[in-house]
Each structure stands twice: as C-alpha cells, then as structure tokens.
Structure 1
Amino acid sequence: MTQPQTLTAGARLTGALLCAFLALLAAAWIARDIHAARSLSDLWWFWTGAPKRGGRAPLTTGILDPVLLVVYAVAAAVVPRSPSAAAVLCSVGAVTAALRVSSLWVLHDDWTDTTALHDLRRRALLSTFAALAAGLALVITAAAGRRPDAAPGPRPRARPGAGAGTTAFLLLGAAGLVAVAWEIYWAVELPGDVYETRFTGKHLPLLWMPGGWASLVLAAIALTAAGGGLARAVYVRPLGLVAAAFLASSGAIGISLAVRFELLDHFGDLETSAQLQVVTWFFQVAAGLALIPVLARRGPEDPAGVPGTPWSPAYPPYAPHPPQGPQDSHGGFGPPPQGFGPPPPPSSPPPGW
C-alpha cells in the first residue's frame, strides 16, 4: 500500500513565492501595455491579433498573459493549504516553461533588433529568462519537497471525483483532438514557408507566443489532463483548470473576431472550414467554462490518506482500528468543498461527485 505524500511547509512557501513573482512579472507587462494603449478596447483588439489602431507606444502582451496572471495568482493563494500543492506547482511550472521558451526565438527575430525596440527587447529577454527559471524552479520544488504524509485522521482528497474525471476526459480529450486536427489542416492547406511562421513567430509582438506553438502546447496540456481523468490522477484538477482557462480565452478571442467581422450574420455563406472554425470557438468557450466549476470542486474526503480504487464511485473508508463510536450513515464522508479550501464537517451530506 502506497504511503500518501505531502509537500513540506518550506516547499509550499517557496512555491507560493515563485508563483507570486510570476504574477507580478505578468502584471507589470500588462500594466505597461494598459498605459501604452489608447484604451482598454484597443488593447483587447491588439490581443485578438486584429488591432483597430496602434497604441501610443509599441504593445507587447498577448491574450495568454492575463490568463497566466490569473493562473499564477490563484496558484500562489492555494499552494500553502492545498492537498494537491505538488501537482499545482508542477503543472504551473511546466506550462510556464513550455510557453515561454518560444520567446527565445521570437525575441531574436530581425525586426525586434531596432533602436526603437532596444530597451523593450532587453527587458522582454530578461523577463523571459526569469519566467523560465521560475517555471523550472517550481517543478524542482514540487519534486524535491515531497515527503510521506504521516498525519493521522481524515484529510482532503486531492483526486477528482468520478464525475469530474469523466467530464475532464470527455471535454479535454475532445478539445485536444480538435487542436491537433486544426494543426494538421493548416499544415496541409498552407504553403510550407507560411506554415513555418506558425512556429517561428516571424514579426510577432515581443511577448507573443507563435500560434502553432501555443496550439500544440494547449493540445498537450488538454490530452494529458484528459488521460489522467480516466485514472482520476491528482494532477488532473490543476492541469485541467489551466487548460480550461486557455480554452475559454481562445474561444473568447475567436468569438470577438466573428462578431467584429460579421461572420455570424453570414454564417451560411462561409466556406466549410470557416464555419468549422466558428463552431470551434464556441466549443472552446463552452468547454472551458463548463470545466472550471467541475474541476474546482474537490473529490471525496480521504479518511486516512490511503488511495482507494481509482475506478470506484466513492473511496471506501479505511480504519486501522475498529470505530469507537457511532458513525454517519454514509461512513463519515463529507461533500467535496469548493476550490482548494478545507474539508467540511463530517455531518455534511454525501458528495455529488
């Protein structure tokens, strides 16, 4: 029987500080762009890739920057007390490294090496290296800070419930496969040199990630979380929530473009590929918004910290000694609390997931 693991207090504090540092880094760049843009509306359309007009100064951030800001802020808040703190740190660190590594070649594009962008480019490079270092440090902290959990008594369950795991498998699996299908489509339809720019990011703003690279990272995150959903793995909830946030933001960007260019008004006149693209945007928003409340809800409480059978609808109670007094009719299990908070009292009704 595998002994449950926990993250030490020092590792939790280190991880929370690293997440807070990443949040401050993202917030500083977003604040800089808010000041440089003529309005928040102009900044939003810049994030869509179809700006209406230029800013007072060159803009740098993309739509993933505010999403990552939210991810870092939430992670910094929940890591000190979450039963899945190691999975949270590892997920956030791996996603950060996977996304930010693309800046190493985007920022070496010829167009960024100009006098007007020299200071911005230098700061963007420093931020990229700092984000990569912090992302790798999060993964190392999660791996090095694990210790056997010998605390007696019940503890919150880090694994998702059966319903949440199944939902994650279906929605994230579909979203990941759709992203892969679109990359295959663009690889076939676009000329080789044009498709190459989806990964090289030629002429991109300083902090943007190439579209093809971001799409494949999203597909990898979604499919990994979907696979873990079947086994109700601990990492499904944090990684799935990150994927859900990316899906919702990507779909919101697409729907904004569809409304601006009146694609919905002329939907019947569009080519089949364009119609499928619009449908994909709506699916991404729906899947992302549906997954957030499902995965934010914790699974059943673990009375002794001993993993049960991943396929069982509820983990059976485990007691090394006979109970000394009466128990609840449902075995002392309480419902999964919202988010990453403490478990409810044992007198609560049985869990829904």
Structure 2
Amino acid sequence: MTVTRPARLTGAALCAALALIAAVWILKDLAVLGSPADLAWYWAGDHHFLIRGRSATSLVDPVLLAVSAAAAVAALRSRHAASALAATGTVTLALRLPGLWAPGTGALVTALLALALAAGLIVTAAAGRRPVTASYEQPATRPRTGPAVAAGALLAVSALLVVLWELYWATELPLEITVDRFTGGRSVIKAALAPPPGWLSLVLLALYGTAAVAAFARARHSRAFALLAGVFLAAGGLAEVARTARYELVGRLGDLPAADLLAVLNAYVGLLAGLAVLALLAGRGAPAAAPAPYPPAGMPPPAPPHPPPPGW
C-alpha cells in the first residue's frame, strides 16, 4: 500500500500544525523562565529551581514536536508514510486527551486543536491509502528478522517495566493519589499541558506493547511504531539519566534505598533500550522478493514434458 500525493501533502500540513502548537508553548515557556537550560531541567524532572514562573510544557511536548516534524518530512519524501502518519496521530490523540478536563483555558484550547488535527491525521492516513498497481512501485519493506526480534524483545521488556512501576506506586500511595495519577486530580502537581503520570504510563504501555507485537510479526507498519516507541523510550531515559547525574546519585548507589536504586537502573536501561531500538530499525528493511522473470519477446513457450503425465 502507498499513499496518494494529496493525502501526503495533507498529512504533512497537519503534522506541521501539530509541531507549531508545541513550538508556540515551548517559546512561551522560554519567555517565562528566560533560560533554555532551566526549561530543559524542568523537562528532566528538576522542579526545585523554579522561582520566576512555572512551565506549562513537559517532556512530552518537545518529543511530540520532534515526532510531528519527522512525520511531516516522511510524508513529503515517501509514498509509504501512512504508518508514520497514523502512529503520530494516534499517540498525539492519546496524550492530548487529558487536556479536555485539565484546568485552564489554554490547556483546553490546545487539547481541542491537537485532537482535531490528530484525528484528521488518522483519517488522512487511512483514506489516502491505495494498493500498489504500477510495476515500478514497490510495497513497503518488512524489517529484517534479527533486528525486528531484538527490537521487539527490548520493547516488550520496557512495557513490562512500565507495568511493574505502576504496580509499585499503586501499593505505595494512597488510593486517592493513585486514582489522581490517572485522572489528573488535585493531588498531582504537573505542568498544565502534561498528561497525568499514570495516564502517560498507560499510553506508553500501549505503544511499547503494540510496537513489540508488530516487530515480532515483522509487519510492514512495525518500523514506524517501533521507532516512535524508541524515541519516547530514549527521551524518558535521557531525562532520568540527566537528573540522576545532576544530583550525583550514581556515585552513591550503595547508600540509596532499593526503590531509588531501581529507578536509577531503570533510567539507564530505558535510555540504552531506546537507542538500541532506533539503531536496529532505522536502517533499510529486508529486500522485497524479486518478481518472476518474463520470457524474452518472441520466444516460444516451453515444450510439454515427455512422456506427458496422466491427465495432461
């Protein structure tokens, strides 16, 4: 399956609009905080230095900005960008949905715009598909078996870690706070545009699990979903690694409680797993099977077998 040129142009425009929304909010936060380094540390989870204002964005916003820009470029350059457009639209839809009930007019307006654009992106990716008919067109390639299985295993382990951490927090926190982590209640302090932490975990669990299953099956759309999962996995791991380095936690691992030690190890595992998934699936896929050769023009058909088989 390929994507028609009008659908590709429409998808690129929708992705550009999604990237513009994230860019506007990031520029607004830069104007409030006055320092790109402070904003980056806020995205990494360090909120102790904020005395001049509070960021409205979170780590999700620069990741969505990069993902939307990459999807727009893919739509302009490739006839096989349907999976990239669909993956970007689905993840954006899921991450911006909590903005509908978040406090603040800005979060609500942003959520409405992003949801409309993301839904349009999914519809465009589905409606713009067409089968490969011309002989010079090649279908999207499948990922190679070895890299696909390795990436699927890393994503499956990452999904399992998300489940284990949510089970840990469910046992450590009161029921009210546990519910607020998924709904964005008053007990959860977060950036205005950020999804609730439990909701984010559910989205990442669905993304990692879907990408892992698609990678194991070597589906043609697996590369787009796995690369998207790798970006989120690497970005989250990088943020956690930067925060642990800022507080010099690595040098005193022996003094840390068990939960903090596991959190530090999880950060490095997430960063390395995300980078590995990107490296495994960023290359070319398996070559398509060569079509059966045609006999040269003017050549007679092959002679029947002799002696002929029964019923020839």
Normalised to the residue count of structure 2, the TM-score between the two structures is 0.89
Q: Which of 40, 54, 61 in structure 1 is aligned with 2:57?
A: 61
Structure 1: state its 5+ residue gaps.
109-120, 303-315, 325-353
CA distance in 2, matches of 1:230, 1:58: 42
Q: Which of 290, 295, 303 in structure 1 is aligned with 2:281?
A: 295
Q: Deviations over 1:291-340 (max 9, x none)?
A: 112222121333xxxxxxxxxxxxx322262478xxxxxxxxxxxxxxxx
CA distance in 1, matches of 2:67, 2:18: 10
Alignment match, 1:191: 174
Provide closer, same or farther for how the CA distance between residues 300 and 57 of structure 1 changes in structure 2, counting only shifts above 3 A.
same
CA distance in 1, matches of 2:191, 2:265: 28
Structure number with the higher helix fraction is 2
Normalised to the residue count of structure 1, the TM-score between the two structures is 0.79
The within-5 A match list for 1:199-348 is 199-201=182-184, 202=186, 203-302=189-288, 316-319=289-292, 321-322=294-295
What one-letter code is carried by the residue in structure 1 that aligns with 2:191? P
Alignment match, 1:115: none
Provide closer, same or farther for how the CA distance between residues 322 and 92 of structure 1 changes in structure 2, counting only shifts above 3 A.
farther
CA distance in 2, matches of 1:48, 1:38: 17
What's the offset of the Cα at 1:157?
Answer: 3.6
What one-letter code is carried by the residue in structure 2 that aligns with 1:269? D
CA distance in 2, matches of 1:52, 1:290: 32
SS at match of 2:248: coil
CA distance in 2, matches of 1:221, 1:175: 10
What's the offset of the Cα at 1:81?
Answer: 3.0
Native 8 Å contact 2:232 2:274 kept in 1: yes
Alignment match, 1:16: 12
The within-5 A match list for 1:64-103 is 64-103=60-99
What's the offset of the Cα at 1:164?
Answer: 2.4
SS at match of 2:105: helix
Larger Rg: 2
The alignment's C-alpha RMSD in Å is 1.8
Native 8 Å contact 2:19 2:69 kept in 1: yes
2:33 pairs with 1:50: no
Q: Deviations over 1:92-133 (max 9, x none)?
A: 00000011001122x23xxxxxxxxxxxx3233211111011
What's the offset of the Cα at 1:250?
Answer: 0.9
Alignment match, 1:343: none
Aligned residues: 294
Structure 2: state its 5+ residue gaps.
298-312
Of the structure 1 ranges 267-276 and 135-144, higher mean CA displacement relative to structure 2 is found in: 267-276
Native 8 Å contact 2:45 2:240 kept in 1: no
SS at match of 2:47: coil
What one-letter code is carried by the residue in structure 2 that aligns with 1:282? Y
Alignment match, 1:333: none
